[in-house]
Amino acid sequence: MINKKLLFSVRESIPFIKKNVLYQWIGLVCNVLSTACLCWIITRHRSISLVGILFICLILRYIVNQKAIEMSYESSHIVKETLRSRLYKKLSKIGNSYTNEWSTAEIVQLSTEGIEQLETYFASYIPQFFYSLIAPMTLFIVISFMNFKAALVLLVCVPLIPMSIVFVQKFAKRLLNRYWGQYTKLGDSFLENLQGLTTLKIYEADGYYHKKMNVESENFRKITMRVLTMQLNSITVMDLVAYGGSALGIVFALTGTNDLFQTLFIILISAEFFIPMRQLGSYFHIAMNGMAASDKLFAILEKDIQEKQAVDLKDCFISASNLHFGYTDKEVLHGICFNANKGMIGFVGESGSGKSTIASLLMGQYTNYSGELKLSGYEIKDINVYPYMTLVSLESYLFSGNLRDNLAMAKDVSDQEMNIVLEKVGIFDYVNEQGGLNMRILEGGKNLSGGQRQRLVLARALLKDSPIYIMDEATSNIDVESENKIMEVLYELSKEKLVLCISHRLANLVNADHIYCLKDGNIVESGSHEELIQQNGVYCELFNTQEELERYGA
């Protein structure tokens, strides 16, 4: 009933949980005193002093109840902040390779609703658990002075509630794990269909995927109803125990004492034996939902990742030797070797030849390669490469906000420096027409054309001023003018930096210092453009085919 790993994962909340239990116990004492005063007034004699004590107890009980609520809020606030922060930091350490094991929808659901469920676990369930242990013992001590048999009967009946909770716990855990699995599966489908809605409309496949989502929604409805049925049945059992125990205690009170005050007091206070445990049962089902989410959360937080070594590099160069890699059992790169020391280095080849895979490996997205892949003599999977490499691809993201914020994430520089790089990539005039650096950017740069978006992405990359730039199809699907301007900037950049350019268009790399041509995961040719043309091999065939197609298109 208590997940110690989960409880001690947020130790900062424990002091607030203790205070919460203390305030609830003080409230119980106030309730006992106010009930005793009320029974005395009814059965013995009326007294202004007793009425005063009664009101003081009621006021004090209200105050401590409010303080208990405050402690619940404080503990839940810390839990949400701590767990979300830990999840974010862990994902930051894992990097964009987290998508290899978890979907984005699953991560979002865990960080929102999953942690919200854990808030209830810490704010309500845990304090109630300890209070429900203390409260019956406190009442047993009080009532035992009046009627020991009645007190003993009430105390013995109390554990029947947690026994019923334990009885359904294992079944509930399996059921809630299935519930969360179906919930995240439905979330994945919804997010994927929403992102691909335009494509579904174009191919008139939205009706088919709508039916698929209906099936998944129906499966989720069924598992939800099974969870609710389990919860309602459990609550019914707890209610029978609570009301039956109270009734049994009252019977013993009526038959075991002739004192009207004691009898009335036991009748009024007997429910307090079971209310804490009954409340615990209600919180239990919500807590179980949270614990099911915590299993998935800890799977992420406890994932072993190799700590990246921080290195101080002066001269940056890249080398690969006998590099093998595969996304699954099937190998994608078959022992390739290359060197990149300075200037413009091109990687070309047909789709699926392994070009973008090399970019992903260089950025540390995958570490399960064999062979050597080194940055200035250090194995890339062992070091933090982000200070020295900048990747620009079609997936490079622009965030909603203004242009200044998007550029400032690369480096904290002046407006003048930002304007210089905007002019360098040929978009300064357009930006000025749209409000300058305060220009509004929509999510993902949706208010920009493909060429404008890529120019801004390149401007941000230039501001970072890293020693190495990796351009992974950065000029795909954009207008010719933007493509030519970007390549012009990259060639100028390659005079000072190492630029690795993966391009679908071989004409962009005719002036590159060195070109590697890939086919089926192997580097089959390498050299300058002129040298590769003279070899009359794979590169020459690709180049001539593209040139012929472009000439035909013109």
Q: How far apart are CA 231 and CA 281, in angstroms?
A: 9
Q: What is the CATH number of domain 4-301?
A: 1.20.1560.10
Measure the CA angle with vertex 27, ends 62 and 65; round to 5°.
40
Dist CA 456 CA 460 (whole Å): 6
Six-digit token string for 97: 């390779």
Helices (H) and strands (E) in the chain, counts: 20, 12
d(CA 375, CA 498): 12
299 vs 98: CA distance, rounded Å: 12
Banded model confidence at residue 339, pLDDT cuts 50, 70, 90: very high
How far, rounded to the nearest angstrom, does the alpha carbon of residue 414 sit from its chain's CA centroid? 34
Q: Which tokens sit at 238?
A: 């707890």
Question: What's the confidence (pLDDT) of residue 8?
Answer: 79
Say if strands 318-325 and 370-375 run parallel, antiparallel, or are unpaired: antiparallel
| Residue 164, pLDDT score | 66
Q: Which residue has the tokens 């005039």?
A: 429
Give CATH 3.40.50.300 domain extents, the chain. Answer: 318-553
Give the least confident one: 149-153, 166-170, 248-252: 166-170
* Residue type at position 162: P
Residues 6+ away with beta carbon under 8 Å from 136: 154, 155, 158, 273, 276, 277
Helix (H, G, I), strand (E, B) or coil at 379: strand
Mean pLDDT for the stretch of residues 392-421: 87
DSSP secondary structure letter of residue 332: S
CA distances from 263 to 141, 143, 146, 155 (A): 16, 10, 9, 17
* Residue 103 token pair: 């979907």
**Which ranges in 379-479 belong to alpha helices (H)?**
403-408, 415-424, 428-433, 450-464
CATH 1.20.1560.10 domain range(s) in the chain: 4-301
3-state secondary structure of 342: coil
Least confident of 248-257, 407-416, 489-498: 248-257
Closest CA to 314 of 374, 411, 388: 388
Q: Could you report how far apart the first and last alpha carbons of the chain are, in Å?
A: 73
d(CA 78, CA 9): 11
Q: Tell me which residue of 236, 258, 65, 40 sits closest to 146, measured CA to CA.
A: 258
Strand-strand pairing, 343-349 and 318-325: unpaired
Residue that has been written with the tokens 């933007």 in this structure: 482
pLDDT digits (tens, 9 = 90+) for 450-469: 888 888 888 999 999 899 99
The 10s digit of each residue's pLDDT in 468-505 is 999 888 777 677 777 788 888 889 989 999 999 998 78
pTM comes to 0.67
Task: Report which listed range, 22-31, 32-41, 102-111, 291-300, is most confident.
Answer: 22-31
Phi, psi of 322 (to 5 degrees): 50, 45
Q: What is the CATH number of domain 318-553?
A: 3.40.50.300
Query: What integer is the mean pLDDT of 76-98?
Result: 82
Lateral strand order in the sheet of 343-349: 389-393, 468-472, 498-502, 343-349, 514-519, 522-527
